[in-house]
Structure 1
Amino acid sequence: MPVMTARSRTEKHRASTPLELFFDLCFVVAVAQAGARLVHAVAEGHALTGIGSYAAVFFAIWWAWVNFSWFASAYDTDDPLYRVVTLVQITGVLVLAAGVPRAFDAGDWTVVVIGYVVMRLALTSQWLRAAHCTQDGERRVALRYAVGISVVQLGWIAMLLVPAESRGARTAAFVVLVLAELSVPALAERDRSTSWHPHHIGERYGLFTIIVLGETIAAATVAVQEAVYEQDALGELLPIAAGGLLIVFSAWWIYFAVPIHDYLRGSREAFIWGYGHFLIFGSAAAIGAGIEVAVEEAVGKAHVPDTVAAAAVTLPSALFLLTVWALHARHFKRDFAEQLSLPVAALAILACTFAGGWAVFAAGLVAAATVAVGELLSRRPAVAG
């Protein structure tokens, strides 16, 4: 068995591998399932319940992806054993995706938890392999990860024993287990950091953002296509389609406006930045679900007011802008005017909620204007002193 040792943080030309890209694409299957059920819940007038279930499912998807990506940044050996274990993790997310409809519709999380535990235990075996091949502090970090992940998985399995009717108890258990999951990296790396690569991590998160935004475009396209075919409602749908495209294009532009690897200098910055991407990924995927809801409302298939359908787009769009600003854009702004652009844009997009059938198009125009303003402000000469 080849030795699994840490890769250098200063390694040149550290890029995502074909296996990592395949891993991302398979995870988007689960994201698509969660988005589809969110559309159904909101369109049927169960927005709060749907959002709660969506957040829970998305956490499982996101957290498994995050843990794999950071481990791979430090220990990717790309040998046969590593590849096989990664494929097992992919199998786990496909099992999770298969359980998403039942989790949303019937509150039965058994299949979702099984898929999640498969992913997490597969990663545990990777950490045990790293511990076997390393020594001293590096070995202790790997063992802490392996033990921490394993213990929390026992908690997820135990949660299934709580009766589905006891929603309060299940919700409390879920929150505790989420906090436990989030604490494992901080505890494992409390006195020594793994050798994750800043450029590689920045690229990995950027690629997943692109894939999620691409899934948003695909979902919205299918919704518009079906509505046009079934309802011949092109006039009502063109503003939604145009606005949705402007929002997604602008989201891509804004996210990649700064070279984030220059900011990821240590574990403290990296943890905050990495954890915060739960909101970036989740809101990006939810934009697509919101566009689907807006389409269904426009053709009379969704049983919700037009403001609710508009909010399904404007709320995640505003959240995306605010989170991107808070996590890394603000660290590269030169003055107050540049700092204000994204927060003001987020508020303006929220105000578009009340623009009736033109809400999505208006939000798209605001997003596009935000990009234009940002470009103009960034091209000004720097003020001396």
Structure 2
Amino acid sequence: MTDTARGGLFRPIVPNQHSRVTYAELFFDLVFVFAVTQISHTLLAHFTPLGALQVTLLFLAVWWVWVYTSWITNWLNPEKTPVRLLLFAMTLGGLVLSTSIPTAFDGRALWFAIAYAAMQVGKTVFLWASTLPSQSLARANAIRITSWLAMSAVFWIAGGLAEGPSRLVLWAIALAIEYISPAVRFWIPRYGASSVADWVVEGGHMAERCAGFIIIALGESIVVTGATFAELTWTTENVLAFVSAFAGCLAMWWIYFHKGAEAGSEQISKSSEPGRLARLAYTYLHMPIIAGIIVTAVADELVLKHPGGHSDLKTVISAIGGPLLFLFGTILFKHSFRGFLQLSHGVGIVALCVLAWFASELSPLALSILTTSIMIVVAVWESISLQSSSAE
């Protein structure tokens, strides 16, 4: 936010200095390891069109509450005791939210809705209360955000009280309100819309926060793979499925972190409009990346348990869909700061689409090996191409 004299509970602006991620923020992230696990297990247990739609809505809610908190802690200073206490309260709310995920469309719907609404509205009211009289732009933006989140909270609570399809509709409306609000710059009567220039964001901190969530998702994938493999009788097929799952996870790490994460952090730190880039690249475009990792983890568990025979529809969708979502997200993410579409990622997307045509004829193990091979080729190709271009 453009108030130059930031003080009170706000992070100090230090030119040419990166604001580090604090231990309080990392502690807050721990609950989202559990949340991601709950989402993947819920998808595995309800792998139907309706179940997938419900889990998608829950995933979008979890991501949105986390990324909004990252924006808040980009402005506020978690080293200050009141902000730290806010994060601890948010951690408790996140734990309630996460434990409610498996039955969010059943017995614990209202708990999920209350936890979510309280986290979203509570932290923005805190931001509003934290602004000093001299921080007119920061206060106006806090009022705008609070107004939009309070409106969506009505639909969250109403959905928690509703039954059947009405709950899904009401929660979809609530999410639509929240996802549209940044795109319209939180316009409200009297205050109007915020300017992109109003959103001063510490780019390195935002990039590091989102990279941390990628680690959370990849870590959950490793936990699922290891826990499933430990319970099985170790046959040749299971061992190969285990190696393929690990190699696929490693390829995803390489594609995101080898060049992309650091380049994105540098670009947003140098950008004249870091708020715009943070909104596009880190708020919106990271969603398919993380969703792809979660869906791939579901596929890995399915393949580990049933590596032989023909691949059923559930295995095909998750084994192909996970890497597709990941590559779709990463190619757009890297385009947002490189200005061109990475050829290796595009070829990987095409290869996965071609593989989908005959995937049902393959065994789950063969399908896993092929999708992993495609991801490895993408990772190696990008590394070589970027190394060659930098050497010229």
Distance in 2 between residues matched to 1:80 and 1:225, nearest whole Å: 42
Q: Which position in structure 2 is the counterpart of 1:313?
A: 319
Distance in 1 between residues matched to 2:46 and 2:374, nearest whole Å: 28
- How many Å apart are 1:83 and its aligned residue? 1.2
Q: Which position in structure 1 is the counterpart of 2:223?
A: 218
Distance in 2 between residues matched to 1:307 and 1:146, nearest whole Å: 43
- How many Å apart are 1:356 and its aligned residue? 2.1
Q: Which position in structure 1 is the counterpart of 2:190?
A: none
Q: Is the 8 A contact 2:155 2:173 kept in 1?
A: no
Distance in 2 between residues matched to 1:120 and 1:381, nearest whole Å: 44
Distance in 2 between residues matched to 1:376 and 1:297, nearest whole Å: 35
Describe the superposition over 1:116-155 as per-residue Cα deviations: whole angstroms up to 9, x where unpaired.
Answer: 1221133123222233554322221122222322232122
Alignment CA distance shift 1:77-1:315 (3 Å): closer
Q: Which position in structure 2 is the counterpart of 1:32?
A: 37
Q: Is the 8 A contact 2:245 2:372 kept in 1?
A: yes
Distance in 2 between residues matched to 1:224 and 1:50, nearest whole Å: 26
Q: Which position in structure 1 is the counterpart of 2:128?
A: 128
Q: Which amino acid aligns with 1:129?
A: A
Q: Is the 8 A contact 2:9 2:80 kept in 1?
A: no
Q: Is the 8 A contact 1:69 1:201 kept in 2?
A: yes
- How many Å apart are 1:329 and its aligned residue? 4.8
Q: Which position in structure 2 is the counterpart of 1:72?
A: 73
Q: Extract unaligned runs of 5+ from structure 2.
A: 1-6, 188-192
CA RMSD of aligned residues (A): 2.5
Describe the superposition over 1:32-64 as per-residue Cα deviations: whole angstroms up to 9, x where unpaired.
Answer: 11111111223xxx3x22321221111121111
Aligned pair 1:201/2:206, yes or no? yes
Pairing of 1:71-150 with structure 2 (within 5 A) = 71-103=72-104, 106=106, 109-132=109-132, 134-150=134-150
Alignment CA distance shift 1:154-1:125 (3 Å): same
Q: Extract unaligned runs of 5+ from structure 1.
A: none
Alignment CA distance shift 1:179-1:9 (3 Å): farther
Aligned pair 1:183/2:191, yes or no? no
Distance in 1 between residues matched to 2:206 and 2:14, nearest whole Å: 11
TM-score by length of 1: 0.86
- How many Å apart are 1:195 and its aligned residue? 2.3
- How many Å apart are 1:333 and its aligned residue? 7.2
Distance in 1 between residues matched to 2:142 and 2:72, nearest whole Å: 10
- How many Å apart are 1:3 and its aligned residue? 1.9
- The share of aligned pairs that are identical, in percent, is 22
For residue 285 of structure 2, give the secondary structure of its aligned residue in structure 1.
helix
Describe the superposition over 1:355-382 as per-residue Cα deviations: whole angstroms up to 9, x where unpaired.
Answer: 3231101111121122111122122256
Q: Which position in structure 1 is the counterpart of 2:328?
A: 322
For residue 328 of structure 1, give the secondary structure of its aligned residue in structure 2.
helix
Q: Which amino acid aligns with 1:262?
A: E
Q: Is the 8 A contact 2:110 2:161 kept in 1?
A: no
For residue 15 of structure 1, give the secondary structure of its aligned residue in structure 2.
coil
Q: Which amino acid aligns with 1:373?
A: W
